[in-house]
Structure 1
Amino acid sequence: MNAHTFHATNPFNVYALKQMDRMRQARGKMLDRLGYGPQETPYTVLHTEPGLILRKYDQANADAPAVLLVPAPIKKAYIWDLLPQVSVVRRWMEHGYKVYMAEWTPDTGPNYGLEDYGDRLLSACRQAIEEDSGEEQVTVAGHSLGGILAAIFGCTNADAVRAVVLLESPLHFRHDLGCFANLVHTTPDARPIAQAFSEVPGVFLNIVSAMAAPHAFQMERLIDRAMCMGNPEALGTHMRVERWTHDEFPLPGKLFTEVVESLYRHDELMRGKLRVGEREIGPQDLKAPLLTVADPRSAVIPLHSMQAFYDAAASEHKQMLHYEGDIGVNLQHVGVLVGKSAHQRLWPAIFDWLNSVE
Structure 2
Amino acid sequence: MPDAPFPDPLAFARATQHAAQESWRAAQARTLDLFGYGLAEHPYEIVAETPLWRLRHYRGDTAPQGPPALMVPAPIKRAYVWDLAPGVSVVGTGLAHGLDVHLVEWRPPVAGGAPHGLEDYARAVRTAAEAVAARGAGVPVVLGHSLGGTLAALAAALEPAPFRALVLLAAPLSFAPGSSAFRDAVALREDHTPEDGLVPGAQLGQACALLAPGTFIWHRWLDGALSLGDPAALALHLRLTRWALDEVPLAGKLVHEMVEWLYREDRFTAGRLEMGGRVIGPQTLRLPALAAVSTADEIGPRAAVAPFFAHMAAGSTEIIEHPAEIGVGLQHLAILAGRQAHRQVWPRIAAWIAARA
Q: CA deviation at 1:99?
A: 0.3
Q: CA deviation at 1:231?
A: 1.9
Equivalent residue in structure 1 for 2:161, among 159, 162, 180: 159
Equivalent residue in structure 2 for 1:141, among 140, 143, 148: 143
Contact 1:292–1:320, Cα closer than 8 Å, also in 2: yes
Percent identical across equivalent pairs? 36
Aligned residue number for residue 288 of structure 1: 287
Q: Classify the secondary structure of the residue corresponding to 2:292.
A: strand
1:1-358 correspondence to structure 2 within 5 Å: 10-11=10-11, 12-59=13-60, 60-61=62-63, 64-107=66-109, 109=113, 111-119=115-123, 121-135=124-138, 137-176=139-178, 178-191=181-194, 194-195=195-196, 198-314=197-313, 316-358=315-357
Contact 1:290–1:315, Cα closer than 8 Å, also in 2: no
Contact 1:92–1:99, Cα closer than 8 Å, also in 2: yes
Distance verdict in 2 for CA 1:326–1:38, change over 3 Å: farther
Q: CA deviation at 1:37?
A: 0.6
Structure 2 distance, partners of 1:37, 1:103, is 18
Structure 2 distance, partners of 1:321, 1:25, is 37
Contact 1:187–1:208, Cα closer than 8 Å, also in 2: no
Aligned residue number for residue 4 of structure 2: none
Distance verdict in 2 for CA 1:320–1:176, change over 3 Å: closer
Distance verdict in 2 for CA 1:335–1:45, change over 3 Å: same
Aligned-residue CA RMSD (Å): 1.9
Q: Partner letter of residue 123 of structure 1?
A: R
Distance verdict in 2 for CA 1:26–1:48, change over 3 Å: farther
Structure 1 distance, partners of 2:155, 2:95, is 23
Contact 1:75–1:245, Cα closer than 8 Å, also in 2: yes
Q: Partner letter of residue 22 of structure 2?
A: D
Q: Partner letter of residue 114 of structure 1?
A: L
Q: Partner letter of residue 37 of structure 1?
A: G
Contact 1:286–1:315, Cα closer than 8 Å, also in 2: no
Structure 1 distance, partners of 2:73, 2:30, is 22
Structure 2 distance, partners of 1:299, 1:64, is 33
Q: Partner letter of residue 180 of structure 1?
A: R
Q: Partner letter of residue 288 of structure 2?
A: P
Equivalent pairs counted in the alignment come to: 345
Contact 1:71–1:146, Cα closer than 8 Å, also in 2: yes
Contact 1:62–1:133, Cα closer than 8 Å, also in 2: no
Q: CA deviation at 1:299?
A: 2.0
Deviation track 1:221-273 (CA, whole Å, cap 9, x = no partner) reads 11111111132211111100000001110001111111111111111111112
In structure 2, the gaps of 5 or more residues are 1-7
Distance verdict in 2 for CA 1:167–1:176, change over 3 Å: closer
In structure 1, the gaps of 5 or more residues are 1-7
Structure 2 distance, partners of 1:348, 1:63, is 16
Aligned residue number for residue 3 of structure 1: none
Q: CA deviation at 1:10?
A: 4.1
Distance verdict in 2 for CA 1:334–1:62, change over 3 Å: closer
Contact 2:294–2:302, Cα closer than 8 Å, also in 1: yes
Contact 1:288–1:315, Cα closer than 8 Å, also in 2: no
Task: Please give the TM-score of this superposition, normalised by the length of structure 2.
Answer: 0.91
Task: Please give the TM-score of this superposition, normalised by the length of structure 1.
Answer: 0.91
Q: Partner letter of residue 182 of structure 1?
A: A
